[in-house]
Amino acid sequence: MSAAGAPAPGSLAALCSLEGRVALVAGGSGGIGRTVCQALLAAGARVASLDRSVERAEPGTHALACDLTDPDAVAAAVADVLASHGRLDLVVYCVGVSRDGLSWKLSVDDWRTVIATNLDSAFFLLRSVVPALRTAGGGSLVFVSSINGERGKVGQSNYAASKSGLNGLARTAAREVGRFGIRVNVVAPGWIDTPMTAPLSDELRQRALAETALGRVGQPEDVAHAILFLCSGLSRHVTGQVLRVDGGQWIG
């Protein structure tokens, strides 16, 4: 430890610590997003949470109601975070909805809703935060995607397309902003026990379980820990990557 009680520079504790950092979590009231907020707070970051409603926001976060499909609302929310905290270092995008149906039966509205919510909003957020991350001298941006964005999934053409789009957006952004010290990565979960998967049938859950190499389905903490790694100094030379957090489900 240093004389001031802070971890010694370059030590494992210093690399893991997010003290002095400001993080923004889009979708921070969701099953994964709220757990991510908890992990970032525990690591010492100040955390702002954006979501349609602040009712389920994690205590201790700077919670802002924001329609993430509205580019003006996203820009205003980011400006609010900067005005309140003076900087922005870490951004995590945990937004996702599903409207399932076979491709040829899927309604135009269900297609557009999923693409707007899962992909358009990621672009709006990216566009709004990059200038702030540049001003801070660098930072980390993490998108939460899905293994279905890589492998596809019957009945999820809209969802899979949106998550595949996130992968492409992240890799392109990583090339564009790397010279500013900004890293952009993706975490791609498999089945995670969240309010989003809770309504699905036990048959589907058991099928996902059977696909996993580790023999269990994931929990929000599993995703949050991977995101914490990508936000920390432990991953300082990692960018443009898709990290699957699926217990081996993608290879199953």
Burial of 97 (0-12, 13-18, 19+ CB in 10 A): middle
Tally of CA atoms within 13 A in the half-sphere of 24 that contains its CB:
34
DSSP E strand boundaries for the chain:
22-26, 46-51, 62-65, 90-93, 139-144, 182-189, 242-245
Please answer whether residues 146 and 170 qualify as being in contact, where contact means their C-beta atoms are separated by less than 8 angstroms: no
CA–CA distance, 159 with 161 (Å, rounded to integer) = 5
- 115 to each of 70, 95, 125, 128, 244, how far by Cα in Å? 13, 11, 14, 19, 21
CA–CA distance, 144 with 242 (Å, rounded to integer) = 9
How many CB atoms are located within 10 Å of the residue 198 CB? Answer: 9
Catalytic residue among 93, 143, 159, 191: 159
Tell me phi and psi for residue 219, to 5 degrees: -115, 155
Please answer whether residues 33 and 194 qualify as being in contact, where contact means their C-beta atoms are separated by less than 8 angstroms: no
The answer to whether 159 is a known catalytic residue is yes
CA dihedral 65, 70, 76, 78 (to 10 degrees): 80
Q: Supply the residues annotated as catalytic.
A: 159
